[in-house]
Amino acid sequence: MTESKNTYLSSLEGKTPRIVVLDGYTLNPGDLSWAALQQLGDCVVYERTPAAQTVERAQQAEVLFTNKVVLDRNILAQLPRLRYIGVLATGYNVVDVEAAREAGITVTNIPAYSTASVAQMVFAHILNFAQRVELHAAQVRSGQWTNHTDFCFWSTPQTELAGKTLGIVGFGRIGQAVARIGQAFGMRVIFQNRSLKTGLHGHFQQVDLETVFRESDFVSINCPLTSENQGFVNKSMLALMKPGAFLVNTGRGPLINEADLADALNSNRLAGAGLDVLTVEPARPGNPLLSAKNCFITPHIAWATFEARTRLMQIAVENLAAFLHGKPQNVV
């Protein structure tokens, strides 16, 4: 711990830190409680903070929490009291970590809170594509089964997952959770990861990226976004996929070249895509994927189950408590 942090922590003895949550609505739209955080200091929660109001609202804070509000070098320079930033997410690209470090500001994130929920969403998209339950239920409700000659009907192909190949890009906690679910369905699981994975519990085969795209019936993107892999799912990579294959992205929107994916879907080069993230969020009206064939988009909700958000809140409180006791955890 730096001298400035030691000085800050000692100065808090007998005092109450000023805590500001800049954008608390997505974490807690009303079904959780801020009480545990409020016990740690004088806490103000804003549901949303426009960029133009960030400095004004954070001016007196020693502790800031942000999910998507950007805290860049210019903003941090205007917050001399600030000593702690808690990112209410796993990704922390909204904070200039280097500038924070130079200013003696500790930055923490929330790792591994949504693993089960995100893996579940991957298969929500896969199962939607495989059997289109909602579509068929709507057709029954509209009378199509009642008026049908046969005892059954289907308007989309019905696909069994057993025996199909599931390819995973990125084999961290979420990728491995996806693999275990795929294995439970009887799927062959292959994966690509930037480092060699050993000691895995399960019959998973590590291959190169091109093999994942070439051999898989379902490709799940679960890798982090870096400067090297931005837009790597492009025309040439999509051209490797089987015409009947389905692509799922619950990672980050910019991993995909959206125009190239829309072209692949509209030309029937690819059977479908399930996306929980887009390059710009909320989605802009001109995004070509909004009208692309067989493109199923959910509004960045893979992380948002009640259970995952409860864990996120708990870890956020634990992170701040650890910092206030001089033993910061989950520091980035």
pLDDT tens track, the chain, 332 positions? 344 444 455 445 557 899 999 999 999 999 999 999 999 999 999 999 999 999 999 999 999 999 999 999 999 999 999 999 999 999 999 999 999 999 999 999 999 999 999 999 999 999 999 999 999 999 999 999 999 999 999 999 999 999 999 999 999 999 999 999 999 999 999 999 999 988 887 789 999 999 999 999 999 999 999 989 999 999 999 999 999 999 999 999 999 999 999 999 999 999 999 999 999 999 999 999 999 999 999 999 999 999 999 999 999 999 999 999 999 999 99
Provide the pLDDT for residue 9.
Answer: 52
Q: Are 57 and 49 in contact (CB under 8 A)?
A: yes
Domain ranges of the chain: 3-113+307-324, 115-297
User: For residue 5, how many C-alpha atoms fall within 13 Å in the half-sphere facing its CB?
Assistant: 19
Task: Work out the end-to-end distance of the chain between its first and last CA atoms, rounded to an integer number of angstroms.
Answer: 14
- CATH architecture entry for 115-297: 3-Layer(aba) Sandwich (3.40)
Provide the pLDDT for residue 13.
Answer: 54
Is pTM beyond 0.95? Reply is: no
Of these residues, 47, 102, 210, 281, which one is catalytic?
Answer: 281
Give φ, ψ of 20 to 5 degrees. Answer: -125, 125
Per the structure block, which two tokens stand in for 121?
Answer: 């969403």
Give the C-alpha separation, 71 to 82, whole Å: 11
Q: Is 95 exposed, middle or buried (0-12, 13-18, 19+ CB in 10 A)?
A: buried
Cβ neighbours of residue 155 under 8 Å, at least 6 residues apart? 132, 135, 136, 139
Report, in angstroms and rounded to the nearest whole number, the Rg of the chain calculated over CA atoms: 23
214 among known catalytic residues: no
Provide the pLDDT for residue 2.
Answer: 45
Of these residues, 57, 81, 214, 300, which one is catalytic?
Answer: 300
Of these residues, 252, 258, 309, 311, which one is catalytic?
Answer: 252
Report the 3 state secondary structure along 290-322.
Answer: HHCCCEEECCCCCCCCHHHHHHHHHHHHHHHHH
Give the C-alpha separation, 118 to 178, whole Å: 9
300 among known catalytic residues: yes
Residue indicated by tokens 């960030």? 54
List helix spans (H) across the chain: 3-11, 35-38, 54-58, 73-76, 97-102, 115-131, 133-141, 173-184, 209-215, 235-238, 258-266, 306-324
Cβ neighbours of residue 286 under 8 Å, at least 6 residues apart? none
Give the C-alpha separation, 2 to 245, whole Å: 52
Equal CATH topology for 3-113+307-324 and 115-297: yes
* Among 16, 56, 53, 51, residue whose Cα is nearest residue 37: 16
252 among known catalytic residues: yes
* Among 14, 67, 70, residue whose Cα is nearest residue 316: 67
Assigned CATH for 3-113+307-324 = 3.40.50.720
Type of residue found at 6:
N
Beta bridge partners of 167: 190, 219
